[in-house]
Amino acid sequence: MTVDYADVVIAGGGIAGASAACKLAAGGLSVVLLEKQEEYRDLVRGEWLAPWGIREAQRLGVYDCFGAGGGWEIREWMTWDEAVTEDEVEAVDMTRFIPGIGGPMSFPHHQVCELMAAQAADSGARLVLDAARVSVTPGREPVVTYQTAEGPQEIRARMVLGATGRGNTVGRQIGVRMRNSMHHWGGGMMVEGMAGWPADVQAMGTEGDVMFMVFPQGYGRARLYLNFPTVNKLRYRGPGGVERFLAAFELDCLPDRGKAVTEAVPAGPLSVWPSVSSVPEGPPLAEGVVLIGDEAGNADTVLGTGLSCALRDSRTVCDILLGGDDWSPGAFAPYLEERDFRLERLDFGASIISRLHVEFGPAAVARRRRVRKLMAKNFAAQVTGLLNMVAPEDVPEFGFSEFFAERLFRETA
């Protein structure tokens, strides 16, 4: 067995792990980045970065990877919905929320990760692809073992960052338990040939028993998402699943009944999943090991803030590692405090959005109509929507109270 040494080993080469590798290697630390894929490919991951996440990418020094990897600015948000009449549909300007940043960015996840990993390697990190069976033993000198085509490998490090995503590979090994909850299922697929769709407009809405999202990536490409009831979890699986997924966008609320989407051509795999919120029951770390990104806990994917959180985690932890020699668990108290605050707000906001947009039937339609009227009368009622644009700490506190939720969803105005 080959035994190596490094300052930091990062398990997981996604957005969180690869961005951390870039920052730490550029800061002069010896870094090993382990990625289980032999090559980066489309695995249907989040591909939408909020304006506050773009600011985090700039602070980490990885912003150029998004642009070079196909990043596409989305400038407007349209809500087409069975609860919205044609004359009520309006475009929301998403470029105005954070001065100097612009609108959110949509991009091919795997291409950006590949460029980040290459940037990390150019800065001196060692990238190991096809790293299987990663095992982490925490301690003052944590040990990481993994398997490659050359056989078993071992690295002794000062610190391990667990960034393996929702699979929680490292977290489970160091004893971090998650409190999971699920409201609905989701699915996603890349398509091309959407020339009839406005290139800088993202859309969402609910009709029948689906909540849809369309995120253009330029040049007729887009990532499509559906959220749907758990009773329909098998609807888009098996033979004909892709066709059924595209056909679900044939909706009365969409322009031309969604023809621009239903006639699109699949350009990647279709994936479906339980949309799970995971909150750690204790601190997401152990001696010598810190979790970042989805592995440290995540809100429901309906909110779309997972990648922004991954970059915030990466920056915060890297700043601690580069800021001094104290890498003990206590040194990460500021990270844990901020992350707990952030996840609590995001989880609350996601529950509001799920209840409002991913519940179905006549009562749910009536609820959305009532809430729209309330929001039209009182702008403050729209506060939860800010979570898609600005950082959680910049959203007014009253939007995270049970009183706010009760006022939003009460049966009468």
Give the 3-state secondary structure of residue 363. helix
Asked if 217 contacts 226 with a C-beta cutoff of 8 angstroms, the reply is no
Asked if 304 contacts 275 with a C-beta cutoff of 8 angstroms, the reply is no
For residue range 220-237, what is the model confidence (pLDDT) as tens digits? 999 999 999 999 999 999
Asked if 322 contacts 375 with a C-beta cutoff of 8 angstroms, the reply is no
Q: Give residue 191's pLDDT.
A: 97
Go through 321-357 and write b for each residue having 16 or more CB atoms within 10 A of its CB, e for each that does not: beeeeebeeeebeebbeebeebbebbbbbbbbbbbbb
8: which strand partners? 31, 159
> Taking 70 as the threshold, does the pLDDT of residue 87 lie above it?
yes
For residue range 120-132, what is the model confidence (pLDDT) as tens digits? 999 999 999 999 9
Average of per-residue pLDDT across 85-103: 92
Q: Which two tokens stand for residue 45?
A: 């991951």
Percent of the chain whose predicted confidence (pLDDT) is above 90: 86
Of 97, 164, 94, residue with least CA distance to 131:
164
Q: Give residue 3's pLDDT.
A: 64
Write down the mean pLDDT value for the chain: 94
Q: At what angle do helices 402-409 and 362-377 cross, to 10 degrees?
A: 110
Beta strands 151-162 and 2-11 are: parallel
| CA–CA gap between residue 379 and residue 278 (Å, rounded) | 31
Q: Give residue 411's pLDDT.
A: 62
CA–CA distances in Å: residue 32 to residues 154, 310, 320, 325:
11, 19, 18, 19
> Taking 60 as the threshold, does the pLDDT of residue 412 lie above it?
no
pTM of the model: 0.95
pLDDT interval class at 383 (50, 70, 90): confident
- Is 259 or 379 the better-scoring residue by pLDDT? 259
The number of CA neighbours under 13 Å toward the Cβ of 93 is 7
The number of CA neighbours under 13 Å toward the Cβ of 185 is 15
Q: What DSSP string describes 284-299?
A: SEETTEEE-GGGG-B-
Residue type at 339?
R
pLDDT interval class at 82 (50, 70, 90): very high
Which strand (E) or helix (H) includes residue 145?
A: strand 143-148
Which strand (E) or helix (H) includes residue 396?
A: none
| CA–CA gap between residue 207 and residue 252 (Å, rounded) | 8
For residue range 136-175, what is the model confidence (pLDDT) as tens digits? 999 999 999 999 999 999 999 999 999 999 889 999 999 9
Residue listed under structure tokens 């699915």 = 187
For residue range 197-220, what is the model confidence (pLDDT) as tens digits? 999 999 999 999 999 999 999 999
Beta strands 31-35 and 126-129 are: parallel
For residue range 13-52, what is the model confidence (pLDDT) as tens digits? 999 999 999 999 999 999 999 999 999 998 888 899 999 9
How far is residue 395 CA from its own chain's centroid? Answer: 19
Count of other CB atoms within 10 angstroms of residue 133:
11
Altogether, the residues listed in the chain come to a count of 413
Q: Which two tokens stand for residue 156?
A: 């002794």
Q: Is 114 left (phi over 0), alpha (psi -120 to 50) or beta?
A: alpha
Percent of the chain whose predicted confidence (pLDDT) is above 70: 99
What is the separation, in whole angstroms, between the first and last Cα of the chain?
68
For residue range 260-308, what is the model confidence (pLDDT) as tens digits? 999 999 999 999 999 999 999 999 999 999 999 999 999 998 989 999 9
Average of per-residue pLDDT across 46-75: 96
CA 314, 317, 319 angle in degrees (round to 5)?
Answer: 105
Go through 134-151 and write b for each residue having 16 or more CB atoms within 10 A of its CB, e for each that does not: bebbbeeebbbebeeeee
Q: Give residue 376's pLDDT.
A: 83
| CA–CA gap between residue 339 and residue 335 (Å, rounded) | 6
> Taking 70 as the threshold, does the pLDDT of residue 1 lie above it?
no
> Taking 90 as the threshold, does the pLDDT of residue 381 lie above it?
no
> Taking 90 as the threshold, does the pLDDT of residue 378 lie above it?
no
Residue 67's Cβ-count burial label (10 Å; 0-12, 13-18, 19+) is middle
Of 290, 296, 371, residue with least CA distance to 331:
290
Q: What are phi and psi of 41, to 5 degrees?
A: -145, 170
Give the 3-state secondary structure of residue 334. helix
| CA–CA gap between residue 167 and residue 177 (Å, rounded) | 12
